[in-house]
């Protein structure tokens, strides 16, 4: 700190001030003493006011100026904490303790595990801000560009529920050298869109790509423009998904509303990245390794790579993500496969020791991420991003699954449509917080067990029907169908439920399991809809025990199957996990 006060701050590289302490697994700040230094500085013993100290995340900061140079530095630099039952140890590597001191066993830091996830984005990666980067807290905050979500999101993520993060890559050509890619006046459409769903228990995540050329209905959206004015933009039916951003001055909040309209999933937050994000983030971590099953030479994206493995960054990384004519069928769907491969590799690189133990890379990454990304106004503070990143960072790489909305070709030959049945099945799987990886295999087997066993005859099924969120008249229509069409004559309709449910449920006592299975078969109820437990049933009009069927918002009509599948294992969609390398062909 004295160095900054004496005008020598410009010679200090922030990356060189942080060292990894092998005893704690954490980064610690090493600052030069104020006295003149020799060519090879010798370490000094601890004094009451220590020159070295660990800076904790969230420490308050103040500015120290030397001429025109201003740095953010902590108000206080606490000394190392002494562990109970052990002698005091010097926190810096390379120092020896006094007599009787023993070397502590290295401890893996929780902060280190989540380091690169802090900031929580899957844009062109899930990136992070380390504890060391809090030294530049205000500086990084100033880097972040915010855009209003205009009420299109949930209002913010929560630690006690699943997280849905919408990541949008635009084709806007702003930034040095990007005008040469053509279409330099693009308003910035939603060219690459990924909905990242992180499970409630943080055991898994699904990253679902939404094709830009998929035909959707873009709803009306109230937006906040750059000048602060409010503009209500009318919706347009049957248009490409990518026009949900940029077209007619639409902002990312319009893309959020379009995703909700399409999937039934309301995102918590959005993050937007342009061409520069790919270039700066890939360079910050020293490049991303990709694998090609055959050579790629694409004159449009200017990518020229031979068969095999390559480490790419900057302009070459951007060219890789823009390539489509030289891979697969030359469509946007083929490009999505390249993007998913790139993101998987980048996640592996960012979570590797090569990145985690390199303070320079970590700081470069924090700088690049905060400059390259625009976020909604609910997460425009580093602390909020850090909290989001910690939640996302709990997911193991092998349980991050990439998939794409199933589509079929449209009649025009240039666009695609959501595949009937299968697309909705994928959306339902994500809405129900069911993993596409095998991390929940045992839990799914336990759920599926509810549907295994004998079935009662329809005439023996006793059930009371309530309306808990379905269209008016649904309970009576269901009663008529049960009694007249499928033989469930011991059924009653008791009006509205005391609560509104998003999903239809069937509550029953354990000795009514055979009745529950029969009704589940008739109505197409998934295992997750079945709620067994003592005291779950009630009496019917004859005073006999009856199950409780509550029709939720997912109810599609009397006689219409409610759920197509009770297990994600039955979902037939293309998917791959982030821990596996895949060579593009």
pLDDT tens digits along 245-261: 999 999 999 999 999 99
The pLDDT assigned to 572 comes to 65
Bridge partners (DSSP) of residue 63 are: 72
The pLDDT assigned to 28 comes to 52
311 domain residue, yes or no: yes
If you search the block for the tokens 């060391």, which residue do you land on? 132
Per-residue pLDDT at 122 exceeds 70: no
Lowest mean pLDDT of 31-40, 321-330, 391-400, 433-442, name the range: 31-40
Half-sphere exposure of 297 (CA within 13 A, CB side): 2
Domain range enclosing 555: 448-568
CA gap 123, 119 in Å, rounded: 11
User: Of all residues in the chain, what percent carry a pLDDT higher than 70?
Assistant: 68
479 domain residue, yes or no: yes
Burial of 81 (0-12, 13-18, 19+ CB in 10 A): exposed
CA gap 197, 162 in Å, rounded: 7
| Residue 410 CA: distances (Å) to CA of 211, 238, 407, 414, 419 | 13, 11, 9, 7, 10
CB neighbour burial string for 345-366, b if at least 16 within 10 angstroms, e if fewer: bbbbbbbeeebbebbebbbbbb
The pLDDT assigned to 63 comes to 37
User: Of all residues in the chain, what percent carry a pLDDT higher than 90?
Assistant: 36
CA gap 131, 26 in Å, rounded: 9
The pLDDT assigned to 459 comes to 94
Lowest mean pLDDT of 141-150, 313-322, 348-357, 524-533, name the range: 348-357
Evaluated on CA atoms 460, 461, 462, 465, the torsion sign reads negative
Per-residue pLDDT at 66 exceeds 80: no
Query: Both 67 and 128 in a single domain?
Result: no
- Residue 518 sits at φ, ψ, to 5 deg, of -65, -45
Q: Is residue 204 within 8 Å of residue 401, measured between CB atoms?
A: yes
Average pLDDT over residues 66-78: 39
Query: Both 459 and 489 in a single domain?
Result: yes
Burial of 311 (0-12, 13-18, 19+ CB in 10 A): middle
The pLDDT assigned to 20 comes to 52
Per-residue pLDDT at 471 exceeds 50: yes
Domain boundary among 380, 403, 436: 436
CA gap 208, 401 in Å, rounded: 8
Most confident of 34-38, 47-51, 217-221: 217-221
358 domain residue, yes or no: yes
Per-residue pLDDT at 112 exceeds 50: no
Query: Both 176 and 209 in a single domain?
Result: yes
Per-residue pLDDT at 91 exceeds 50: no
Query: Both 402 and 522 in a single domain?
Result: no
CA gap 344, 3 in Å, rounded: 42
Query: Both 465 and 412 in a single domain?
Result: no
Per-residue pLDDT at 184 exceeds 60: no
Average pLDDT over residues 466-489: 94
CB-based contacts of 37, cutoff 8 Å, min separation 6: none
584 domain residue, yes or no: no
Per-residue pLDDT at 571 exceeds 70: no
The pLDDT assigned to 483 comes to 94
The four Cα atoms 23, 352, 569, 443 give a dihedral, to 10 degrees, of 10
Structure tokens at 500: 């509104």
Query: Both 69 and 137 in a single domain?
Result: no
Bridge-based pairing of strands 400-404 and 205-210 is: parallel
The pLDDT assigned to 485 comes to 93
Of the candidates 83, 25, 21, 78, the one whose C-alpha atom is nearest the C-alpha of residue 55 is 78
Structure tokens at 466: 């309530």
Bridge partners (DSSP) of residue 296 are: 305
Query: Both 284 and 357 in a single domain?
Result: yes
Average pLDDT over residues 4-9: 38
Overall domain count for the chain? 3
Bridge-based pairing of strands 505-508 and 530-532 is: parallel
Evaluated on CA atoms 295, 300, 301, 302, the torsion sign reads positive
Query: Both 92 and 130 in a single domain?
Result: no
Average pLDDT over residues 87-91: 36
Domain boundary among 65, 98, 131: 98
The pLDDT assigned to 297 comes to 87
Of the pLDDT bands very low, low, confident and very high (cuts 50, 70, 90), residue 108 is: very low
471 domain residue, yes or no: yes
Per-residue pLDDT at 239 exceeds 50: yes
CA gap 436, 207 in Å, rounded: 10
Lowest mean pLDDT of 57-71, 352-366, 415-429, 453-467, name the range: 57-71
The pLDDT assigned to 141 comes to 79
Average pLDDT over residues 187-203: 91
**Which tops the pLDDT comparison, 461 or 129?**
461
Query: Both 281 and 228 in a single domain?
Result: yes
Per-residue pLDDT at 311 exceeds 70: yes
- Residue 466 sits at φ, ψ, to 5 deg, of -125, 155
Q: Is residue 292 within 8 Å of residue 341, measured between CB atoms?
A: no
Structure tokens at 102: 């023993």
Per-residue pLDDT at 185 exceeds 80: no
The H or E element that residue 111 is part of is helix 110-113
443 domain residue, yes or no: no
Q: Is residue 163 classed as helix, strand or coil in its secondary structure?
A: strand
Of the pLDDT bands very low, low, confident and very high (cuts 50, 70, 90), residue 475 is: very high
Q: Mean pLDDT score of the chain, rounded to an integer?
A: 75
The four Cα atoms 176, 181, 182, 188 give a dihedral, to 10 degrees, of -70
The pLDDT assigned to 188 comes to 83
| Percent helix, percent strand, percent coil in the chain, to nearest 5 | 30, 25, 45
Q: Is residue 442 within 8 Å of residue 238, measured between CB atoms?
A: no
Structure tokens at 472: 């008016």
Query: Both 411 and 331 in a single domain?
Result: yes
Q: At what angle do helices 422-431 and 252-263 cross, to 10 degrees?
A: 110
Query: Both 168 and 129 in a single domain?
Result: yes
State the Rg of the chain over Cα: 28
* Length of the chain (residues): 585
The pLDDT assigned to 476 comes to 95
Of the candidates 465, 505, 498, the one whose C-alpha atom is nearest the C-alpha of residue 483 is 465
**Which tops the pLDDT comparison, 61 or 468?**
468
13 domain residue, yes or no: yes
CA gap 443, 448 in Å, rounded: 9
CA gap 224, 151 in Å, rounded: 10
The pLDDT assigned to 72 comes to 40
Most confident of 104-108, 171-175, 271-275: 271-275
**Which tops the pLDDT comparison, 224 or 443?**
224
The pLDDT assigned to 242 comes to 94
pTM of the model: 0.60
CA gap 55, 75 in Å, rounded: 10
The pLDDT assigned to 330 comes to 65
**Model pLDDT for residues 501-560, shown as the tens digit of each residue:** 988 999 999 899 999 999 998 998 888 788 888 888 888 877 889 999 999 998 989 988
Query: Both 157 and 87 in a single domain?
Result: no
Domain boundary among 401, 436, 471: 436
Average pLDDT over residues 374-403: 86
The pLDDT assigned to 147 comes to 93
CA gap 527, 449 in Å, rounded: 8
CA gap 43, 53 in Å, rounded: 13
554 domain residue, yes or no: yes
């Amino acid at each position: 700190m004295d160095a900054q006060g004496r005008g020598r701050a410009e010679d200090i590289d922030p990356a060189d001030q942080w060292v990894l302490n092998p005893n704690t697994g954490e980064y610690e700040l090493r600052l030069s003493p104020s006295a003149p230094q020799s060519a090879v500085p010798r370490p000094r013993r601890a004094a009451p006011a220590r020159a070295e100290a660990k800076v904790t995340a969230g420490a308050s900061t103040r500015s120290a100026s030397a001429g025109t140079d201003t740095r953010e530095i902590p108000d206080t630099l606490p000394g190392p904490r002494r562990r109970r039952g052990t002698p005091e140890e010097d926190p810096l590597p390379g120092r020896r303790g006094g007599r009787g001191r023993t070397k502590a066993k290295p401890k893996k830091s929780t902060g280190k595990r989540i380091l690169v996830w802090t900031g929580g984005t899957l844009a062109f990666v899930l990136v992070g801000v380390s504890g060391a980067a809090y030294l530049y807290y205000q500086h990084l905050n100033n880097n972040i560009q915010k855009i209003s979500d205009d009420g299109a999101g949930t209002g913010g993520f929560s630690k006690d529920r699943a997280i849905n993060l919408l990541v949008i890559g635009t084709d806007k050509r702003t930034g040095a050298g990007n005008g040469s890619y053509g279409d330099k006046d693009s308003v910035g459409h939603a060219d690459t869109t990924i909905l990242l769903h992180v499970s409630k228990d943080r055991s898994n995540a699904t990253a679902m790509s939404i094709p830009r050329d998929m035909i959707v209905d873009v709803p009306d959206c109230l937006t906040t423009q750059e000048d602060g004015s409010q503009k209500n933009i009318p919706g347009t039916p049957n248009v490409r998904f990518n026009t949900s951003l940029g077209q007619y001055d639409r902002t990312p909040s319009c893309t959020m509303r379009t995703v909700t309209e399409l999937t039934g999933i309301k995102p918590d937050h959005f993050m937007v990245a342009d061409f520069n994000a790919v270039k700066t983030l890939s360079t910050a971590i020293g490049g991303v390794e990709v694998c090609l099953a055959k050579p790629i030479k694409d004159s449009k994206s200017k990518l020229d790579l031979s068969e095999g493995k390559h480490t790419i960054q900057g302009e070459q990384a951007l060219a890789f993500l823009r390539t489509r004519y030289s891979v697969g069928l030359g469509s946007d769907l083929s490009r999505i496969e390249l993007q998913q491969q790139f993101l998987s590799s980048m996640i592996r690189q960012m979570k590797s020791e090569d990145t985690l133990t390199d303070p320079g890379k970590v700081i470069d990454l924090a700088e690049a991420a905060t400059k390259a990304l625009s976020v909604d106004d609910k997460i425009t503070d580093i602390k909020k991003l850090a909290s989001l990143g910690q939640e996302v960072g709990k997911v193991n790489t092998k349980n991050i699954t990439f998939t794409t909305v199933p589509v079929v070709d449209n009649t025009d030959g240039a666009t695609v449509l959501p595949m009937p049945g299968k697309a909705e099945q994928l959306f339902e799987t994500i809405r129900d917080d069911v993993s596409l990886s095998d991390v929940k295999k045992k839990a799914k087997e336990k759920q599926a067990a509810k549907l295994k066993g004998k079935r009662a005859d329809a005439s023996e099924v006793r059930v009371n029907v309530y309306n808990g969120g379905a269209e008016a008249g649904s309970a009576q229509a269901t009663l008529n169908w049960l009694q007249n069409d499928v033989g469930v004559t011991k059924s009653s309709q008791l009006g509205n439920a005391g609560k509104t449910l998003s999903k239809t449920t069937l509550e029953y006592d354990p000795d009514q399991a055979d009745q529950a299975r029969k009704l589940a078969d008739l109505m197409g109820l998934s295992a997750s809809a079945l709620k067994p437990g003592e005291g779950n049933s009630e009496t019917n009009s004859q005073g006999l025990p009856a199950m409780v069927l509550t029709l939720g918002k997912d109810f599609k009509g009397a006689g219409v199957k409610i759920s197509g599948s009770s297990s994600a294992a039955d979902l037939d969609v293309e998917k791959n996990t982030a821990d596996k390398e895949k060579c593009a062909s």
